[in-house]
């Protein structure tokens, strides 16, 4: 989803090749022989894997506005830090909670997920400086990184019966989530929650470690 | 003069990356050695989320996570660039640096800490990962070409730690 949104922001034309869950195309395996995963961007025959790396590539190549990454090196570093935190710490914790079957397990796994969201709420306050997105007036790297997890966040809220985004604890993020999902570059890209819930049930039924789309 | 402090330990390979980057660019900085069994209040204040080294503090502003720090250094001090100019080459460098941290390092670490059958499996995984790197460096002086770059700094730990683990 992330490269999709970035390309929409830059108004770049692209061809979308949908992979079938459970079987990987030759082109995918050729383009990402190391991880064999999506997303992969192929630009003039050059394959670029890993969603955050693709988003940075798109931003650097199509450097005309609107910019996705901050121009100030420190702000840029903070964006990378939170994007990496979302991927390496928070999203795996969310996935762990979503697949937990027992209530006791869910109780134990809920804590780190909520703590992470509270940290992201604080980060939102600092990065947005009172504006609409982490990136300010426009969608930035953290918006894309965390925003694309919103679908799975809603699925987890439903399946695990736990409130993650909360008007009391995370009011900033609640409003931000609505704005993000309503943005022109995101609408039409974000999958419907019900569809994701059904897909999640299929995944849980298979009890597989299949990678989820980012 | 700008104030630049690096919180590190003597052995952390992640912190060494930052030292190498700053040294390559000829940048002066102060070092604060941390005792990880008794972390300083400054470290905990500057890196409350991970509570780890390295942490770079530039004019009072803290940064954590070595690869994030390396890119910050490269953007702030333009001499001796660590990343190439071309966006697709930059993307490739970032990919391999991340591969190193996500796959190579844990697989080598597993060989070091595991025993018996687990260790045998870990060795197979580590070898697969190292074969990827072998392909990457083939015919080149450094991973980044003629000069040291981001990928070389990211894999620098291989140069001395592999020998230590093998022993």
Percentage of residues in chain A with pLDDT exceeding 70?
95
In the prediction, which pLDDT does B45 show?
Answer: 93
Q: Is A3 on the interface with B (CB under 8 A)?
A: no
Q: What angle do CA B5, A88, B67 make, to 5 degrees?
A: 35
In the prediction, which pLDDT does A208 show?
Answer: 53
Residue B30 has pLDDT above 90, yes or no: yes
Nearest partner of B150 among B99, B102, B93, B104, judged by Cα: B93
Closest alpha carbon within chain A to B131: A34
Q: Which chain B residues have a beta carbon less than 8 Å from that of A81? A: 63-65, 68
Closest CA–CA distance from residue B140 to any residue of chain A (Å): 20
Residue A46's DSSP bridge partners are: A43
How far from B159 is each of A209, B2, B108, B165, B166, CA to CA, in Å? 33, 32, 13, 11, 12
Residue B74 has pLDDT above 60, yes or no: yes
Q: What angle do CA A142, A91, A50 make, to 5 degrees?
A: 65
In the prediction, which pLDDT does A214 show?
Answer: 47
Verify whether the Cβ–Cβ distance A57 to B71 is below 8 Å. Answer: no
| Phi, psi dihedral angles at A21 (to 5 degrees) | -60, 130
pLDDT one-digit tens code per residue, B136-145: 888 888 888 8
Question: With b meaning 16 or more CB within 10 Å and e meaning fewer, what string describes B96-127?
Answer: bbbbbbebbbebbebbeeeeeeeeeebeebbe
pLDDT one-digit tens code per residue, A46-74: 778 788 999 999 999 988 768 999 999 99
Helix, strand, coil percent values for chain A (each to nearest 5): 55, 5, 35
In the block, residue with structure tokens 């922001």 = A9
In the prediction, which pLDDT does A31 show?
Answer: 80
Q: How confident is the model at residue A98 (pLDDT cuts 50, 70, 90)?
A: confident
Q: How confident is the model at residue A211 (pLDDT cuts 50, 70, 90)?
A: low
For chain A, the average pLDDT equals 86
Of the candidates A60, A74, A80, the beta carbon closest to that of B61 is on A74
In the prediction, which pLDDT does A202 show?
Answer: 81
pLDDT one-digit tens code per residue, B33-53: 999 889 999 999 999 999 999
For chain B, the average pLDDT equals 90
What's the complex ipTM?
0.88
pLDDT one-digit tens code per residue, A129-186: 999 999 999 999 999 999 999 999 999 998 888 889 988 899 999 999 999 999 988 8
Helix (H, G, I), strand (E, B), or coil: what is residue B108? helix
Residue B84 has pLDDT above 80, yes or no: yes
Q: Is A74 on the interface with B (CB under 8 A)?
A: yes
CB B88 within 8 A of CB A43: yes
Dihedral over alpha carbons B111, B113, B116, B122 (to 10 degrees): -30
pTM of the model: 0.88
In the prediction, which pLDDT does A207 show?
Answer: 62
How many other CB atoms sit within 10 Å of the CB of residue B11?
10
Verify whether the Cβ–Cβ distance B132 to A34 is below 8 Å. Answer: yes
In the block, residue with structure tokens 């694309």 = A148
Verify whether the Cβ–Cβ distance A50 to B98 is below 8 Å. Answer: yes
Percentage of residues in chain B with pLDDT exceeding 90?
57
Q: Is A36 on the interface with B (CB under 8 A)?
A: no
Q: Which chain B residues have a beta carbon less than 8 Å from that of A78? A: 63
Question: What is the 8-class DSSP label of residue B144?
Answer: T
DSSP letters along A14-73, please? ----PPBTTB--HHHHHH-TTT--S-EEEETTEEEESHHHHHHHHHHHS-SSSPSS-SSH
Question: Which residues have CB under 8 Å from B149's CB, separation 6+?
Answer: B81, B82, B83, B84, B93, B142, B143
Which residue has better confidence, B96 or A13? Answer: B96
How many Cβ pairs within 8 Å bridge chains A and B? 57
Verify whether the Cβ–Cβ distance B63 to A84 is below 8 Å. Answer: no
Closest CA–CA distance from residue B46 to any residue of chain A (Å): 13
Chain B 82-141, CB below 8 Å of chain A: which residues? 87-88, 90-92, 94-95, 98-99, 132
């Amino acid at each position: 989803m992330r490269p999709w949104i970035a390309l929409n922001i830059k108004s770049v034309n692209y061809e979308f090749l949908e992979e079938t869950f459970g079987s990987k195309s030759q082109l995918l395996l050729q383009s990402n022989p190391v991880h064999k995963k999506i997303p992969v961007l192929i630009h003039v025959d050059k394959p670029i894997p890993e969603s955050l790396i693709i988003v940075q590539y798109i931003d650097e190549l199509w450097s005309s506005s609107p910019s996705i990454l901050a121009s100030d090196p420190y702000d840029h570093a903070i964006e990378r830090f939170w994007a990496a935190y979302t991927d390496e710490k928070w999203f795996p914790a969310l996935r762990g909670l979503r697949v937990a079957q027992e209530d006791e397990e869910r109780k134990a796994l809920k804590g780190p997920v909520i703590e992470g969201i509270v940290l992201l709420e604080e980060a939102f306050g600092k990065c947005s400086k009172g504006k609409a997105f982490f990136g300010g007036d426009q969608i930035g790297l953290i918006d894309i990184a965390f925003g694309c997890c919103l679908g799975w966040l809603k699925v987890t809220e439903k399946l695990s019966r736990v409130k993650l985004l909360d008007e009391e604890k995370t009011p900033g993020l609640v409003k931000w989530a609505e704005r993000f999902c309503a943005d022109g570059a995101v609408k039409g890209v974000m999958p419907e929650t019900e569809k994701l819930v059904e897909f999640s049930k299929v995944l849980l039924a298979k009890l597989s470690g299949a990678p989820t789309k980012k | 003069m700008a104030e630049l402090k690096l919180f590190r330990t003597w052995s952390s390979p992640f912190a060494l990356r930052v030292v190498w980057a700053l040294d390559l660019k000829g940048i002066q900085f102060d070092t604060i050695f941390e005792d990880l069994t008794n972390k300083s209040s400054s470290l905990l204040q500057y890196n409350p989320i991970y509570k780890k080294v390295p942490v770079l503090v530039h004019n009072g502003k803290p940064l954590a996570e070595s690869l994030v720090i390396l890119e910050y250094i490269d953007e702030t001090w333009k001499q001796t660039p660590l990343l190439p100019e071309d966006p697709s080459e930059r993307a490739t460098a970032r990919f391999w640096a991340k591969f190193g941290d996500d796959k190579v390092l844990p697989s080598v670490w597993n060989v070091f800490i595991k025993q018996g059958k687990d260790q045998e499996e870990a060795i197979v995984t580590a070898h697969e990962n190292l074969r990827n790197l072998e392909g990457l460096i083939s015919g080149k002086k450094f991973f980044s070409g003629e000069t040291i770059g981001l990928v070389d700094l990211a894999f620098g730990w291989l140069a001395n730690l592999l020998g230590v683990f093998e022993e």
